[in-house]
Amino acid sequence: MLQLAIHIDVYTNIVSRYLALSFVLSVFIPGCTVMPPIKPPPVDLTEEKIQQLLSSADAAMQHNQLTTPADDNALDRYKLILTLNPSNTLAIAGINRIVERYLAWALDHAERSNLTKARYFVSLAEGIDPAHPNIKPVVNKINDQEDKVVSVFQLDATSVRNQSVDSGLFATIAARIQRHRAFIIIRARDDRSGRWLYQELNRRVDFRIEARFEISSNPSVSLTL
């Protein structure tokens, strides 16, 4: 009987502890909050794409791939950026730089009296931004240069290379230089040919001709006021 009483007492003690533990758990567990896993911030794929396009557009600018080739140029990339973000200031500035570079090339050719090439670069600039404020001043400069051109004499490349240009043609050019006291631009394929042309013209006038020499596969002498 004593052993039975002991077993009953042990059993009762275990049950009491179990009930007490159950009560404690029932009080505290419902109040516990399980923290959800921390998720990384979402990646802005649009911004990532824009940065890639800006980098490749800048690389194209460095190689003067402004609007060509068709599948690899700066202008197309800047325009694509603006479809993703119409207010992207870097893309807008990039397009402006393209226009400015074309206009700079136009001025450079105008100053060398290569007016056909100058107008070509202006047309490229106008095709991108016809309202650009610097287009009109450049066009005015080209027009001024055109007014200064008195004559352009095209020369036979073989005759220049062999130093056998007709003396009558030299006399005609020299007479025009003498009349206008013109500044001349000599274009020839190499420095040797250019010096020879200058010497032949200079000895036919009574003043020292002011001239500039340019490398060209199409030899010529241009007279400007």
Whole-model pTM: value is 0.63
Same domain, 128 and 82: yes
- Work out how many domains the chain is built from and give that number: 2
Boundaries of domain holding 122: 48-147
The CA-based dihedral angle spanning residues 154, 157, 163, 166, taken in that order and rounded to the nearest 10 degrees: -40
What's the length of the chain?
225
**147, 172, 191 - which closes a domain:** 147
Q: According to the model, what pLDDT value does residue 91 have?
A: 97
Among 112-121, 143-152, 155-164, 185-194, the range scoring the smallest mean pLDDT is: 143-152
If phi > 0 it is left, if psi is from -120 to 50 it is alpha, else beta; for residue 34 that is beta
Tokens 């200031």, located at residue = 89
Residue 138 lies in a domain: yes
Give residue 180's pLDDT band: very low, low, confident or very high (50, 70, 90).
confident
Residue 186 lies in a domain: yes
Q: According to the model, what pLDDT value does residue 7 have?
A: 47
Q: According to the model, what pLDDT value does residue 224 have?
A: 86
Same domain, 115 and 164: no
Same domain, 131 and 193: no
Residue 6 lies in a domain: no
Residue 161 lies in a domain: yes
Residue 27 lies in a domain: no
Residue 214 lies in a domain: yes
Same domain, 98 and 187: no
| pLDDT (mean) for 65-93 | 96
Task: Express each pLDDT in 183-223 by its tens digit.
Answer: 999 999 999 999 999 999 999 999 999 999 999 999 999 99
